[in-house]
Amino acid sequence: MNGTERVLRMLPAGGVLSLIQSDLESNGELFSLLILRRLLERGDTVFLFLYEPFRVFENNATTVGLNIREHLGKNLYIFDAFGSIYRIPRREEGVHQLSGYLDDSVFIIKLREWAVKTLESREWRNLWIFTYTSTGVCKLFRRPYLVYRMIIAVRELLFNNAEYEGTVLTLSEPECPDISDIAYTVSDIVIETHVVNGRRVGIVTKGANEGEVLELFGGD
C-alpha cells in the first residue's frame, strides 16, 4: 500500500485530515496533491478551495501526474479565492470565482452563499473538501487567523452530513504559523512532513496512528 492509501485509511468517515508541511524541502504539498489525484482517479467528487494562483496549482498537479483538466467540471470543482481577490478571470468550467467587493468578512459571507447554492444545485456523492493551500489565507487576508477560523466553521456548518467523505487541509508551517493551532484542534488526523536524515517523511502527530512514519513518495 502506498502512502496516500495508508493516509486515506487512517481518516474516520467525515473526518478532517491536516497535512502540515513543516520543512519546505519535504514537499508535503506535492504529497497532498497525490492524495487529490487518488481521490479524483477513483471517481470521488472534490470541492477544492484554491488560495494559490491557478497556474501554480495546475503545474504542481502535473508534476504528480494529475491532469486537472480531465476532471474540472466533472468531479473537480474549484473555488478560486486567489483569482477572486486579485480579479484574475478564469473561464474554465468548474472554476468558481466571487465577484464584486471583497474584504475579510465579505469573503466569508460570499463563500458561504456559494457553498450553500452549489450544494443544493444537485445530488453529490462521495464528496471531499480539499484546500490548496490553507496557508494562502496568510497572503490574501488582513486577519488570516480569523478568516481561517471562519472557513473552518463554514465547513462544519455545511459539510457535516451524509454523503460527505472527509476534508484534507494542506498547510505550510513556515509561511503561516498562525493557523496551525486550529488545524491541530479540529483535526482527527495531523501529519507533519519533514526531512529526516535526507528522507522525505510524514509523521503522524495526532490520531489513532500517532507516531507512525510514512514514506511520502515512492515506496511500496
Residue 198 gets the label, from left (phi > 0), alpha (psi -120 to 50) or beta, of left
* 185 lies in the binding site for another protein (CB under 8 A): yes
* 209 lies in the binding site for another protein (CB under 8 A): no
* 186 lies in the binding site for another protein (CB under 8 A): yes
Stretch that binds another protein, among 55-63, 81-89, 120-128, 184-192 (CB under 8 A): 184-192
Applying CB under 8 A, among 37, 194, 200, 216 the residue interacting with another protein is 194
* 184 lies in the binding site for another protein (CB under 8 A): yes
Nearest-5° angle of CA 140, CA 102, CA 130?
Answer: 55
Applying CB under 8 A, among 5, 113, 213, 219 the residue interacting with another protein is 213
**124 vs 145 by CB, closer to another protein:** 145
Stretch that binds another protein, among 32-40, 85-93, 130-138, 203-211 (CB under 8 A): 203-211
Query: What contacts 94, CB < 8 A, 6 or more positions away?
Result: 72, 73, 74, 76, 77, 78
Q: Is residue 35 within 8 Å of 3, Cβ to Cβ?
A: no
**CA Rg value for the chain:** 16
Strands in the chain per DSSP E: 15-21, 45-50, 76-80, 95-96, 127-132, 164-172, 189-196, 199-206, 213-215
Residue in the block written with cell 459539510: 159
Q: Is residue 183 within 8 Å of 137, Cβ to Cβ?
A: no
Distance in Å, CB of 197 to another protein, minimum: 7
Nearest to 216 by CA among 12, 84, 15, 23: 23
Distance in Å, CB of 137 to another protein, minimum: 14
* 156 lies in the binding site for another protein (CB under 8 A): yes
* 52 lies in the binding site for another protein (CB under 8 A): no
Residue in the block written with cell 508551517: 173
How many of the chain's residues bind another protein (CB under 8 A)? Answer: 32
Applying CB under 8 A, among 78, 150, 176, 191 the residue interacting with another protein is 150
* 111 lies in the binding site for another protein (CB under 8 A): no
Question: Which residues lie near another protein (CB under 8 A)?
Answer: 16, 143, 145-146, 149-150, 152-153, 156-157, 177, 180-188, 190, 192, 194, 196-197, 201, 203, 205-206, 210-211, 213
